[in-house]
């Protein structure tokens, strides 16, 4: 066989499977894109916040005054919200280990709560206003760390290693929804 024949055979071996896979994907495009994937339907959460029976709408339009009433084991308090980073300068010599013993580095859903709120309690804190729709952005946090005992109404959001984000957050007084 000649060198050209080997080249043609090599190209056919490499590109034939790619061509066949492309044809199969094109043929099944509508089914793949329009039907729900099985794994999406199997995702479950143990969080009480995701339970439709205890969940209330957490989006309000700017300018609307909405009173949040306690429902099914939740209450709303006004609290001071600060931010911290998981670095030794702001914590202790083990910045990634929370007061509850959990590893919190890399997590974006952790908050230090006042001592009277139990560990693993979920809270919702308004994080700002959506620039496109003007809706309040609500984020859920799990209480895995503690604020100092002198702060009975302070929550400290973990910004992990995002120093600029924590500085930009500053100190705010906001409504916090606590799920007990």
Distance in angstroms (rounded) separating the CA atoms of residues 42 and 82: 36
In this structure, are residues 143 and 123 in contact, taking their beta carbons and an 8 Å threshold?
Answer: yes
Question: What is the pLDDT, as a whole number, of residue 39?
Answer: 39
Distance in angstroms (rounded) separating the CA atoms of residues 89 and 119: 24
In this structure, are residues 73 and 180 in contact, taking their beta carbons and an 8 Å threshold?
Answer: yes
The residue-averaged pLDDT of 57-78 equals 56
Question: What is the pLDDT, as a whole number, of residue 143?
Answer: 95
Confidence category of residue 2, pLDDT binned at 50, 70, 90: confident
4-43: burial string, b at 16+ Cβ within 10 Å, e else? eeeeeeeeeeeeeeeeeeeeeeeeeeeeeeeeeeeeeeee
pTM of this prediction exceeds 0.75: no
The residue-averaged pLDDT of 144-150 equals 90
In sequence order, the β-bridge partners of residue 135 are: 61
The residue-averaged pLDDT of 73-95 equals 90
Confidence category of residue 12, pLDDT binned at 50, 70, 90: confident
- Sequence spans of domains, the chain: 3-40, 48-179
Phi–psi pair at 61, nearest 5 degrees = -80, 150
Looking at 1.20.1300.10, 3.40.50.10090, 2.40.40.10, 3.30.800.10, the CATH number of the domain 48-179 comes to 2.40.40.10
Q: State the CB neighbour count (10 A cutoff) for residue 130.
A: 13
Residue 143 burial by CB count (10 A; 0-12/13-18/19+): exposed, middle or buried? buried
Lowest-pLDDT choice from 97-101, 131-135, 162-166: 131-135
| DSSP secondary structure, 66-123, as one string | ------SSEEEEEEEEEEE-SSTTTS-S-TTB-TTS-B-TT-SSEEEE-TTSPTT-EE
Question: What is the pLDDT, as a whole number, of residue 140?
Answer: 94
Question: What is the pLDDT, as a whole number, of residue 23?
Answer: 64
Lowest-pLDDT choice from 6-10, 157-161, 175-179: 6-10
Report whether pLDDT(111) > 80. yes
Distance in angstroms (rounded) separating the CA atoms of residues 173 and 80: 4
């Amino acid at each position: 066989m000649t060198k050209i024949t080997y080249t043609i055979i090599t190209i056919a071996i490499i590109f034939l499977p790619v061509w066949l896979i492309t044809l199969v994907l094109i043929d099944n495009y509508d089914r793949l894109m329009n039907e729900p994937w099985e794994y999406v339907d199997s995702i479950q959460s143990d969080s009480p916040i995701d339970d439709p029976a205890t969940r209330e709408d957490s989006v309000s339009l700017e300018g609307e005054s909405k009173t949040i009433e306690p429902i099914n084991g939740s209450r709303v308090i006004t609290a001071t919200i600060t931010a911290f980073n998981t670095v030794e300068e702001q914590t202790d010599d083990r910045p990634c280990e929370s007061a509850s013993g959990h590893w919190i580095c890399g997590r974006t859903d952790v908050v230090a709560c006042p001592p009277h709120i139990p560990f693993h309690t979920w809270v919702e804190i308004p994080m700002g206003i959506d620039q496109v729709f003007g809706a309040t952005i609500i984020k859920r946090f799990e209480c895995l760390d503690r604020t100092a005992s002198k702060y009975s109404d302070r929550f400290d959001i973990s910004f992990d290693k995002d120093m600029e984000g924590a500085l930009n957050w500053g100190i705010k007084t906001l409504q916090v929804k606590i799920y007990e």
